[in-house]
Amino acid sequence: MTLHVKLFGMLKSLVGDQTDVTVALTDGNQVRDLIVLFQAQYPKIGELLLNKKVIVSINHEIAHPETTISSTDEIAFLPPFAGGSGQLRST
Protein backbone atom coordinates (compact mmCIF):
# COMPACT_ATOMS: atom_id res chain seq x y z
CA MET A 1 0.00 0.00 0.00
CA THR A 2 1.10 3.55 -0.66
CA LEU A 3 0.89 6.05 2.19
CA HIS A 4 1.23 9.80 2.28
CA VAL A 5 2.88 11.03 5.47
CA LYS A 6 2.25 14.69 6.30
CA LEU A 7 5.20 16.65 7.64
CA PHE A 8 5.10 19.79 9.74
CA GLY A 9 7.56 22.39 11.00
CA MET A 10 11.25 21.61 10.72
CA LEU A 11 10.52 18.14 9.30
CA LYS A 12 9.57 19.69 5.95
CA SER A 13 13.04 21.18 5.62
CA LEU A 14 14.63 17.75 6.16
CA VAL A 15 13.05 16.50 2.93
CA GLY A 16 13.54 19.54 0.70
CA ASP A 17 10.61 21.66 1.92
CA GLN A 18 7.99 19.05 1.02
CA THR A 19 4.76 19.00 3.02
CA ASP A 20 4.41 15.24 2.67
CA VAL A 21 6.25 12.17 1.47
CA THR A 22 4.98 8.99 -0.11
CA VAL A 23 6.13 5.62 1.19
CA ALA A 24 5.18 2.01 0.49
CA LEU A 25 4.27 -0.48 3.21
CA THR A 26 2.36 -3.73 3.17
CA ASP A 27 -1.03 -4.21 4.77
CA GLY A 28 -0.79 -5.04 8.44
CA ASN A 29 2.40 -3.07 9.03
CA GLN A 30 2.71 -1.21 12.27
CA VAL A 31 4.07 2.20 13.21
CA ARG A 32 7.37 0.53 14.17
CA ASP A 33 7.70 -0.65 10.54
CA LEU A 34 7.09 2.90 9.32
CA ILE A 35 9.84 4.15 11.63
CA VAL A 36 12.29 1.54 10.27
CA LEU A 37 11.39 2.62 6.74
CA PHE A 38 12.07 6.27 7.58
CA GLN A 39 15.38 5.33 9.20
CA ALA A 40 16.43 3.84 5.86
CA GLN A 41 14.97 6.43 3.48
CA TYR A 42 15.11 9.63 5.56
CA PRO A 43 17.74 9.01 8.28
CA LYS A 44 17.41 12.41 9.99
CA ILE A 45 13.65 12.00 10.43
CA GLY A 46 14.11 8.33 11.32
CA GLU A 47 16.47 9.27 14.13
CA LEU A 48 14.00 11.83 15.49
CA LEU A 49 11.24 9.21 15.40
CA LEU A 50 13.41 6.59 17.06
CA ASN A 51 14.39 9.01 19.84
CA LYS A 52 10.74 10.04 20.28
CA LYS A 53 11.49 13.65 19.38
CA VAL A 54 8.68 13.46 16.81
CA ILE A 55 5.17 12.15 17.46
CA VAL A 56 3.41 9.88 14.98
CA SER A 57 -0.25 10.71 14.53
CA ILE A 58 -2.75 8.41 12.82
CA ASN A 59 -6.18 9.83 12.11
CA HIS A 60 -5.52 12.73 14.51
CA GLU A 61 -4.63 10.41 17.41
CA ILE A 62 -1.18 9.75 18.89
CA ALA A 63 0.01 6.38 17.62
CA HIS A 64 2.19 3.85 19.41
CA PRO A 65 4.80 1.51 17.86
CA GLU A 66 2.37 -1.42 17.82
CA THR A 67 -0.46 0.55 16.15
CA THR A 68 -1.44 -1.13 12.87
CA ILE A 69 -1.55 1.09 9.78
CA SER A 70 -4.18 0.75 7.05
CA SER A 71 -4.28 2.26 3.58
CA THR A 72 -7.05 4.70 4.54
CA ASP A 73 -5.22 6.16 7.55
CA GLU A 74 -4.09 9.77 7.65
CA ILE A 75 -0.54 9.79 8.97
CA ALA A 76 1.33 12.85 10.20
CA PHE A 77 4.64 13.41 11.94
CA LEU A 78 4.46 16.14 14.54
CA PRO A 79 7.69 17.80 15.67
CA PRO A 80 8.06 19.35 19.12
CA PHE A 81 6.20 22.58 19.55
CA ALA A 82 6.18 25.22 22.22
CA GLY A 83 3.26 26.94 23.80
CA GLY A 84 2.85 30.43 25.05
CA SER A 85 3.94 31.84 28.36
CA GLY A 86 0.89 30.45 30.13
CA GLN A 87 -0.36 33.94 30.87
CA LEU A 88 -3.54 35.23 29.31
CA ARG A 89 -3.74 38.80 28.15
CA SER A 90 -6.81 40.87 28.74
CA THR A 91 -7.85 43.22 25.99
CB-facing half-sphere around the CA of 76: CA atoms within 13 A: 13
Residues β-bridged to residue 22: 4
Query: What pLDDT sits at residue 75?
Result: 96
pTM over the 0.85 mark: no
Domains of the chain are 2-78 (3.10.20.30)
pLDDT in tens, the chain (91 residues): 898 999 998 899 889 899 999 999 888 899 999 999 999 999 999 998 988 889 999 999 999 999 999 989 999 999 876 555 555 555 5
E strand intervals along 1-91:
2-7, 20-24, 55-58, 61-62, 75-78
Distance CA 56, CA 49 (A): 8
